[in-house]
Amino acid sequence: MDFIKTIDIMPESVYLKLKQAVELGKWENGSPLTESQKSASLQAVMAWQAKHLDSQQHFTIGSNGKIIERSKAELQKEMSQQQIIRLSHDDF
């Protein structure tokens, strides 16, 4: 099975465990990640995020693995379309 197919079928629970391992530098059982495990896990985490998460960030990685850079105008347009709730102190 190739890498992309593996990422497509990877459950979120596996992604979360890999993400935690990369962040902490060790597996759940406490044993440290080797450099190759860290590299492979980080690649898997980034690929899973690109495939399954809808990120609103300025720079993201697309599902095809390429970096997507959104312009300032695109971000401003998106922000202007979002509803913002404003409350005063009297509302509480």
Q: Looking at the whole model, is its pTM more than 0.85?
A: no
37: its two tokens: 């495990």
CB 24 within 8 A of CB 31: no
pLDDT digits (tens, 9 = 90+) for 38-84: 999 988 988 888 787 765 555 566 666 666 666 767 767 766 766 66
In angstroms, the CA 32 to CA 44 distance is: 18
Output 91 or 26, whichever has higher pLDDT: 26
pLDDT digits (tens, 9 = 90+) for 6-48: 988 999 999 999 989 998 999 999 999 999 999 999 889 888 8
Predicted pLDDT of residue 86: 67
